[in-house]
Amino acid sequence: MRFRFLPPATVARLGWRGTVSLGLAALMLAGPSLAAASAGPSSAAPRTGPSAAVPWDRVRSGLPGSETGFSVAVSGSVAVISAPGADEDSGVAYVYTHTAAGWHHEATIPAPAGTVDDEFAWAVAVSSTSEGTYVAIGGRNQKTSGRSFVYIYQNSGTKWRQVAAIGDPNRHSDGGDLFGSSLAITDSVLVIGAPWANSMSGISYIYEHEGPIWLLKATKPDPLDRMGDLFGQSVAAAGSNVVVNVYDAAYLYVHQAGRGWPKATVLHNPDAPKNLFGQTVALTGDMAMVGAPNSDSSGAPVYSSTGAVYVYKKTGTSWKLSQELTPPAAVRGNHFGDSIAVSGAGLLIGMPTYGSPNCGTAFLFGLSDGTWREQRQIADPGCTPGDKFGFSVAASGTAGVVGAPFAGHGSGAFYFRPLS
């Protein structure tokens, strides 16, 4: 995957992620509604994936530049792994399912026909429901069509077919809003970020699943309307709650019958500015987590910072800061909180620039008596320079996934890890 030039503010926010492209890919399909997703006929049949069986172990894609593991998602017994650089930057997504024998490759979802160099699968999300499992796939470049799309796939047994294509409501963006570069999905809600919309102030869109379609229910522009805020660069959803980041803060929206998705509160940065507070967000039950990978109470300069994850807990109708999580003193300076994933069984926090240099690591925290406590550090098994193990993380139930997209000269790797 070739390098791309990004605005300095974006490079600073990404913490070295600016050396790779930042987005999702898709083909413009004729006629999808602005407010609803149109059905699509395509399907993804099982194809050869990075591995046939993966019992809590490492998987590596075959070709340099694939960046397999750039984005990872898991829900129940289904995991989705992105490889936006595969097929000469067209991008693919791999679907894995868990059985008693471990994790097995079930299907490969290729980029929509006709797309070239679009980096499909820059972002992935998955939700297992009573109706089946839904996978949302987005990207960034959208050069083929000139309009960004997020694609929804649903399984029928081991077959996966495209059931919807959701187009950027801003038809004049020419694919430049990064619509779909961040995603979150539940059984009934889909959140799509477009952080480069409106001169990079950003917009987020909330869709609800009604029957066979996804209807646009709320459009959330940057509340501060500031250029460079990148509102929607990170999004999360759980139950009736949605959280969206903005520069130095995060906004929490709660669904209310008859009122839609009004703002419930603002999660303010409790630390110094420029700590990248909000670069990552996560939600579970009555807790919200916000990453600040540049945070450092010692006053160290930017890019030599420790990083922190702030936990906010709902009490009544208020959300209050309840805990600050930091890594052990021995591993300071490596952007703890660059990725976050949470489930009932644990909290995974990535620190991809840790090691000699940038091999990466992740930490697992467990919840005990309402307090998150570190349980163990998960080291990169390969630990070669530049792996960035922990660049992406995902969690559901007792299943955890950790991505190392730059391992093996950018071929990428990912790991399944139990959280208990």
pLDDT (tens digit, 9 = 90+) per residue, 64-77? 899 999 999 999 99
Question: Is the separation of the CB atoms in 92 and 115 below 8 Å?
Answer: no
Evaluate whether residue 2 is within a structural domain: no
- Element spanning 409, H or E: helix 407-410
Residue 331 CA to residue 324 CA, distance in Å, equals 16
Per the listing, tokens 């089946």 go with 132
Binned at pLDDT 50, 70 and 90, residue 272 comes out as confident
Pairwise pLDDT comparison (254 vs 16), residue with the higher score: 254
Residue 178 CA to residue 200 CA, distance in Å, equals 10
Evaluate whether residue 345 is within a structural domain: yes
Binned at pLDDT 50, 70 and 90, residue 308 comes out as very high
Boundaries of domain holding 323:
8-418
Which residues, 6 or more positions from 295, have their beta carbon under 8 angstroms from its beta carbon? 271, 272, 275, 276, 277, 305, 306, 307, 308, 326, 337
Evaluate whether residue 1 is within a structural domain: no
**Could you give the percent of the chain with pLDDT greater than 70?**
79
Residue 13 has pLDDT above 50, yes or no: no
Evaluate whether residue 351 is within a structural domain: yes
Q: What's the CATH code of the domain at 322?
A: 2.130.10.130
- DSSP labels, 305-361: --BEEEEEEEETTEEEEEEEE---GGG-SS-BTSEEEEETTEEEEEETTIIIII-BE
Evaluate whether residue 3 is within a structural domain: no
For 112, the 3-state DSSP assignment is: coil
Structure tokens at 355: 């090691």
Residue type, 44: A
Of the ranges 8-17, 43-52, 346-355, which one carries the lowest mean pLDDT score?
Answer: 8-17
> Domain tally for the chain?
1
Residue 355 CA to residue 388 CA, distance in Å, equals 9
Longest dimension (CA), the chain: 55
Question: Is the separation of the CB atoms in 40 and 29 below 8 Å?
Answer: yes
* Over residues 204-218, mean pLDDT: 94
The whole-number pLDDT of residue 142 equals 62
